[in-house]
Structure 1
Amino acid sequence: MKVLYIEDDARAAADMRALGWEQGDTIVVESDGLAGLRRAGMEAFDVIIMDRMLGDADGLSLVARLRDSGVSTPVLMLSALGRTGDRAEGLEAGADDYLAKPFEALELFARIRALHRRASGREHSAVILYGAFECHVKARTAFRSNRHLALSPREFELFRYFMENAGEVVTREMLLRDVWNMSFDPQTNVVDVNIGRLRRKLEHGFEGPALETVWGTGYRLLDGTPS
């Protein structure tokens, strides 16, 4: 991916460039908020990462101006302000996702790739295939090794989301936002309960696990093929 990172902290920018190189992505850095705004309007990027607090501008106002100018590139906002109200402000300003500092690189790039997939429209495929799994979107049916999986509507939405992000880490916040349509954590175990139900249905009667818990981060769908 080609990512624009608007950040006035030189060390943070260098670290992000290094992380992008490790992931095989190109990170283009703009240390000036207004210069970043102009570049975003003139050059094509897959995702924009924007720090909320910049020396010359406020990230919230920059995102709002970006949207007013017609730029629809997905924006991930980074900030040391991580309370529910702060996240809501970022999303309402026009950001597509919001990640509080400090963060893990694994989660950051999982979120970036999820934003890129949604923007590219790949999640709208009629049939999604991954290893032994099949997700028939329009028919709302799921299979493992050609065997039908009887999923509830919520379990199917979870399964579909994991298939759209196959092999990559999916965080609780991503699930709450994209499956439950919540911009905040309700501080309940609704995600864990539903993940447990889905895991049992994906694994019952089969060899090998289907859903892996990535402790402290989220979950990853495995390919479901026998080891």
Structure 2
Amino acid sequence: MRIALLEDQQEQAQHIQSILSERGHHCDSFPTGQGFLSAALHRSYDLMILDWQIPDMTGIDVLKSIRAQINWPIPVLFLTQRDSESDIVEALDAGADDFLAKPARAAELVARINALARRANPNNEKEILKYGPFEVNTQQRTINLHGEALTLTDKDFDLTLFLFQNQCRLLTREVLLERVWGLARDINTRTVDTHMSRLRRRLGLNPENGFRIKTIYQRGYRLEAMKTEVVNEDMTGTQEANQEVQVQND
């Protein structure tokens, strides 16, 4: 997983990063709330760990900004020396998913992170995943749309599954290169743009099928589920326009 850590004590931050990297996680550490928020809004993370007392703002303020500005419920763990009942209640009420007092024991920290990840992605272990009219078979690596098999390459499948598993999340080109292609972040990102354009057509990602890939200028892409009522309104408007044309022609 990609984890963002808010911790102003360098020694503590390095200790946590070491624990997580040994378990195969990538952890970016930030000593200030503003630096953390800037990264959180422009990069893609799977989980966040927040300290309470930091130089420029509180962890609670950071959490509230995250919940207000990131449009998917990213798991958040508070890791702090404050451990009174009122502190725990305040953090949970502000949107934290779990609370752990310092000093963190390595095994417990990892176990809590894994538990949060499982709750955030309950479909990861299922063989058949359904997203609206799309049915994804993770074992056979096939995707059906309205019951009809789609013709996709292996990379098409990997990218599609990653997009569906990260709905509503901003995914930068660098993250897609790293997580789907397994390539370094500093190579030409036109690979992603070309593939994404082709994938839109192959998957039929349009309002009628309930999903669209939105391009976020200079940042990346986001798979969005289209609201049924919006789709219906668009179709109704089209039907009314067609009827009007027919009347005029008559």
Report how far residue 12 of structure 1 moved: 5.9
Task: Check 1:21–1:197 CA distance in 2 against 1; reply closer, same or farther (3 A cut).
Answer: closer
Task: Check 1:2–1:186 CA distance in 2 against 1; reply closer, same or farther (3 A cut).
Answer: closer
Which whole-Å CA distance do the structure 1 matches of 2:122 and 2:205 have between them? Answer: 32
Q: Which secondary structure does the structure 1 equivalent of 2:124 belong to?
A: helix
Q: Is the 8 A contact 1:128 1:135 kept in 2?
A: yes
Q: Which secondary structure does the structure 1 equivalent of 2:110 belong to?
A: coil
Q: 2:61 aligns to what?
A: 15
Q: Which secondary structure does the structure 2 equivalent of 1:179 belong to?
A: helix
Which whole-Å CA distance do the structure 2 matches of 1:10 and 1:213 have between them? Answer: 33
**Sequence identity (%):** 25
The structure with the largest helix share of the pair is 2
Q: 1:129 aligns to what?
A: 130
Two-structure CA RMSD over aligned residues (Å): 4.2
Q: Does 2:146 match 1:141?
A: no
Q: Deviations over 1:62-92 (max 9, x none)?
A: xxx989x4443698xxxxxxxxxxxxxxxxx
Q: Which secondary structure does the structure 2 equivalent of 1:212 belong to?
A: strand
Which whole-Å CA distance do the structure 2 matches of 1:139 and 1:191 have between them? Answer: 24
2:213 paired residue among 202, 211, 214: 211
Q: Which secondary structure does the structure 2 equivalent of 1:4 belong to?
A: strand
Please give the TM-score of this superposition, normalised by the length of structure 1: 0.53
Q: Deviations over 1:134-185 (max 9, x none)?
A: 1111111112222221110111100111121134332223212211123523
Task: Check 1:225–1:20 CA distance in 2 against 1; reply closer, same or farther (3 A cut).
Answer: closer
Task: Check 1:176–1:66 CA distance in 2 against 1; reply closer, same or farther (3 A cut).
Answer: farther
Q: Is the 8 A contact 1:135 1:142 kept in 2?
A: yes
Task: Check 1:145–1:225 CA distance in 2 against 1; reply closer, same or farther (3 A cut).
Answer: farther
Q: 1:4 aligns to what?
A: 49
Please give the TM-score of this superposition, normalised by the length of structure 2: 0.49
Letter in structure 2 aligned against 1:72: V
Which whole-Å CA distance do the structure 2 matches of 1:218 and 1:122 have between them? Answer: 24
Q: Does 2:189 match 1:188?
A: yes
Higher radius of gyration, 1 or 2: 2
Q: Is the 8 A contact 1:20 1:26 kept in 2?
A: no
Q: 2:177 aligns to what?
A: 176
Instruction: Structure 2: state its 5+ residue gaps.
Output: 1-45, 83-95, 232-250
Aligned residue pairs total: 159
